[in-house]
Structure 1
């Protein structure tokens, strides 16, 4: 089977399985197995694949056809131009969350102390430490498996982040200039309606925002004030229909200068606010 034939077969196989991004997924699996780029493919596409690579490629296609997320198959995901290890113990970093990181980067300067709650893969904390050298970044998660991944991602990207086990603010000490979080925010009843890649393979611990999806925002806004320095800021990712509700939660808990920031698709994605007692 040639590279071109294999790629076409992969696309057809994934179409039959109901996968949406068939062209990119088939190509990314091939490039991962064969360690080739587009230039190689265009020049040598009519040549035969190495048999061992063909066999491995077919095996990975079957995994993807089972709707296992591509990132869990390849074991990695790019985020903010950095490469992150991922496995089924952590939520796959998404482009939506880059909007949150970009907003935090506007507020953080070297020497500031930053806390990332529900850190998961560590993509937020590691990105902040990478792009703001000198920032003192900590990340917490309730999952020991997630912390193993986040620590590996800090090493992979050459940054120093202090990760530790904590159920929200349970084991947190000190005060911070910025508290950031991408908490679980999908209402429990909506999880089974998500794509198979999400509902069947990503950790529900990182998805389930309880009955109305807002449970963790009440904790973040309510308890977060105890851990903010004067003029400190709380910054969170939200579901695209949660801007008004999360803004109300911030207001009810004494925050001011509340802002809702949209993502690249024009959807509400981030809410920020300051503790009014400190402004």
Structure 2
């Protein structure tokens, strides 16, 4: 028999030996998941013995994490903007940095008094961006588009779990998109192809390559989306992107060339460029 405290120490040691960067945090997260225990209860019961069957479950999950499989893929849960999302190996794991994109879009909706907006989320992945917006904008409608059928299965599951009304579309960018939208938002693949091999093993080996690879210069999808988005945006509509830390100037220039107004680059909590957002001219120049 083994106590909670000893088992957690064992978990930390296993992950440290496997060179897991956040080994202490991850050992705790897996314990929290297996035993459904919070910190307060752990401190009260840390010297009590645990069920052997659950201890073995914990050890098996530690073995998975030791292979550098992300914790969120092991538990199939990631929190984003205060909401729980199901994730697996077919979608990018929602990241806190992306919450800046949600905040900026919500701010724009308020600033421009956009009532019951229609939102298009291009390259939707898990659906976390679109679903977070729908959960926070009364009366909003949304369509999430992605080239991956498996990603859309995850997004659809998240829509159901969160009980939000939303539509999903298998589409190569705008190839199967119809109608007009008040907001187009996207966190597209933006890592340069040559850089992907230098990423952490957790990302490089366990997250979908097609959701990472922005082609040679990392800007391919920004160019394509920006060139086409105006046809699908209502006059005065919002185009908003998550970007890489060194892409603010280039993506801003793309929006300028397409005659967007009030363009701004927004930084994340680390002080790095994270979002580019602009507004389509009030008069609709596209026919």
How many Å apart are 1:100 and its aligned residue? 0.2
User: 2:230 is matched with which residue?
Assistant: 225
Cα distance in 1 for residues equivalent to 2:46 and 2:35: 12
Cα distance in 2 for residues equivalent to 1:107 and 1:257: 11
How many Å apart are 1:110 and its aligned residue? 4.0
Q: Where do residues 1-279 of structure 1 align in structure 2 (5 Å cutoff)?
A: 1-108=2-109, 109-276=114-281, 278=283
How many Å apart are 1:172 and its aligned residue? 0.5
Q: Is the 8 A contact 1:76 1:84 kept in 2?
A: yes
How many Å apart are 1:277 and its aligned residue? 6.8
Give the TM-score normalised by structure 1.
Answer: 0.97
The count of residues paired between Structure 1 and Structure 2 equals: 279
Q: Is the 8 A contact 1:232 1:278 kept in 2?
A: no
Provide runs of 4+ in structure 1 moved above 4 Å. Answer: none
Cα distance in 2 for residues equivalent to 1:78 and 1:31: 14
Cα distance in 2 for residues equivalent to 1:188 and 1:221: 20
Q: Indicate the SS of the match to 2:183.
A: strand
Cα distance in 2 for residues equivalent to 1:32 and 1:273: 41
Q: Is the 8 A contact 1:232 1:275 kept in 2?
A: yes
Cα distance in 1 for residues equivalent to 2:205 and 2:22: 18
Cα distance in 2 for residues equivalent to 1:34 and 1:65: 19
Q: Is the 8 A contact 1:113 1:176 kept in 2?
A: yes
Cα distance in 1 for residues equivalent to 2:100 and 2:282: 27
Q: Is the 8 A contact 2:235 2:281 kept in 1?
A: no
Cα distance in 2 for residues equivalent to 1:151 and 1:41: 35
How many Å apart are 1:125 and its aligned residue? 0.7
How many Å apart are 1:206 and its aligned residue? 0.5
Cα distance in 2 for residues equivalent to 1:65 and 1:150: 28
Give the TM-score normalised by structure 2.
Answer: 0.95
Cα distance in 1 for residues equivalent to 2:241 and 2:119: 13
Q: CA RMSD in A?
A: 1.2
Q: Is the 8 A contact 1:117 1:183 kept in 2?
A: yes
Instruction: Identify unmatched segments of 5+ residues in structure 2.
Output: none
